[in-house]
Structure 1
C-alpha cells in the first residue's frame, strides 16, 4: 500500500542517500514526457522539503525546458538490493545556472564534476513510498567514467559550444534558456 507524506523524513533521507541511481520525469504542457536515469554523486537532500540535483551535459536538456514552462518534476528512487522500496518525490523545480547569484553556494555542495551544466533546486510537495516487491535484484558494480571522460576531453569551451549546438531546445522545440 502506498504511503504519502508532505516531507522527506529521516528514514526517507537515509533511503535516498543509499541509492546509486534515480530517475527524473518532467513533461511540457503539450508534448513528450521525459524520463531519464541519473547517477553519480549528484543528489542532495537540503531539508525536509528541498533537494538539489546537479545535472551534467547530455544529449538533451529536456528538464530545463519543461521546468521553465511549468515547474513540475517527479524523482523516483527504487531499491535493487535488500528491502524492496520505491520512493517518488513530487515537486516544483527551478534551474540554477553558473551565472546565477546562488550558484557558488549550491555548487559547493557537490564534488567538481566535468561537464556540469546546471543544478535543479526542487521544492518537495509530497513523497510516495510503495513496496517495490516486483523490482528485481541488481548488483551495483561501480560508476561509469565515460561521460566524465568525454566532458574532460572536450574542455569548457567545447562543452559550451555543445550547449549552443545541441542543448538550446527540447525535442518538442521548447527553449531551454541554457545560454542566458
Structure 2
C-alpha cells in the first residue's frame, strides 16, 4: 500500500471515531491531523531521512484512541493527545523559520523603501520612478544614467510615498512578528 493510501485509510478510520463531534469540528480535526502528518513527512524529507508514512502514523497511535483523546480534548477541555508533542516541536521549528524570514523580508523591504524615500531628497536626479519606451515600462532606479526619452513619474512625491509605505510595512511586520513570537514560546 502506498504512503498516500495508508494516510487516506488512517484518516478515514479516524473520521469514523469522531462521530461525537459536529461535522464541521470533525472535518477540522481531520484537516489538522492530515496537516500534521504531512508536516512530519516534510520534516523527514528536509532532514534527509527516508520518509515512512507508517512510522509517522504509528506515532499518532490507533485512530480510535486518537479520536477519543481529541473528542475529550474538544468537549471536556482535557489536554491534547500525547502524540502531539512531536508535532508541537515541528510547529515551533516552522514558526521560528517563518518568524525570522518575515523579520528579514518585511523589515528589509521597509528599510529599502525608507532609504529610497530619504535618498530622493539628497539625490533628486538619480533616484526616482521613470516611464520609458513611450510608457510601456516603468523603471524604479538609483542611477545616474537614465534611459533616453524617459519621463519621471512621481518627482518629489516619491519621498513621502516611499517613507509612508516603508513605515507602514515596518509596523505591519512588527505586528505579525508579535503574534508569531507568541507561537514560538
Flag the structure with more relative contact order, 1 or 2, with Cα contacts below 8 A and sequence separation at least 6: 1
Larger Rg: 2
TM-score between both structures, scaled by the size of structure 2: 0.19
Which structure's residues are more often helix, by fraction? 2
Which structure's residues are more often strand, by fraction? 1
TM-score between both structures, scaled by the size of structure 1: 0.20
